[in-house]
Amino acid sequence: METSSVADSLLSGACVVFTLGMFSTGLSDLRHMQMTQSVDSVQFLPFLTTDVNNLGWLSYGVLKGDGTLIIVNAIGAVLQTLYILAYLHYCPQKRVVLLQTATLLGVLLMGYGYFWLLMPDDEARLQQLGLFCSVFTISMYLSPLADLAKVIQTKSTHRLSFSLTIATLLTSASWSLYGFRLRDFYIMVPNLPGILTSFIRLWLFWKYPPQQDKNYRLLQT
């Protein structure tokens, strides 16, 4: 029993460390925006969708009483909100950014109203919220597939981040194991695509290494 408890604590700690490490990769984008005083080459939607994802899993963690989910997603939501505010500050086209933010926040508020006001039963609320978070997380992990197809087409991995790939692989694997230990398929299943897409990215880095990528771009010019 004691060994099992230690293993669970280590797995919980791994989830926290790896996930916060993945979230902190956005700090390089934050530093880039501060140094250049612009949002050039920085994408906004990943910040926004990750923030919504964090808030959804935070609610699931609160309802389930899971401290690991609460800690990770509370800190993640704060970081993503910081990135969003920085992007808004340096972005010249604030109207588009505000419209996208308001739209997703509106969807989030409608979801909260549905889950917390129209569903009085806690168990049903937990199931529905878990399903929503799972679908949203899976869509986030599968959304970069178009970029991966572009990498194969151009034979260039310059648009991929190796550090983010490793962080995503470790994070997805730790949460899949965590969900398996808890017998919570809402946590386990949506992280499996993260493992798959991470291995695909690693294969692309092996197939099109940085040196070959550099030579390919020189030939193109």
Residues 179-195: what's their mean pLDDT? 92
23-51: average pLDDT: 85
The token duo for 77 is 């939501």
d(CA 171, CA 146): 22
pLDDT at 145: 73
d(CA 44, CA 41): 10
Say what percent of the chain tops pLDDT 70: 92
User: What predicted TM-score, i.e. pTM, was given to this entire model?
Assistant: 0.85
CA–chain centroid gap for 133, Å, is 12
Residue 196 has pLDDT above 50, yes or no: yes
Between the ranges 94-103, 137-146, 174-183, where is the mean pLDDT highest? 174-183
Distance, CA of 109 to CA of 115 (rounded, Å): 10
Residue type, 133: C
* Tens of pLDDT, residues 23-35: 888 888 888 888 8
User: Which of the four pLDDT bands, split at 50, 70 and 90, describes residue 199?
Assistant: very high
Answer yes or no: are the C-beta atoms of 72 and 19 closer than 8 Å.
yes
Query: In this structure, what DSSP letter does residue 158 have?
Result: T
Chain segment 56-89, per-residue pLDDT in tens: 999 999 989 999 999 999 999 999 999 999 988 8
- Answer for the pair 87, 34: CB distance below 8 angstroms, yes or no: no
% of the chain beyond a pLDDT of 90: 31
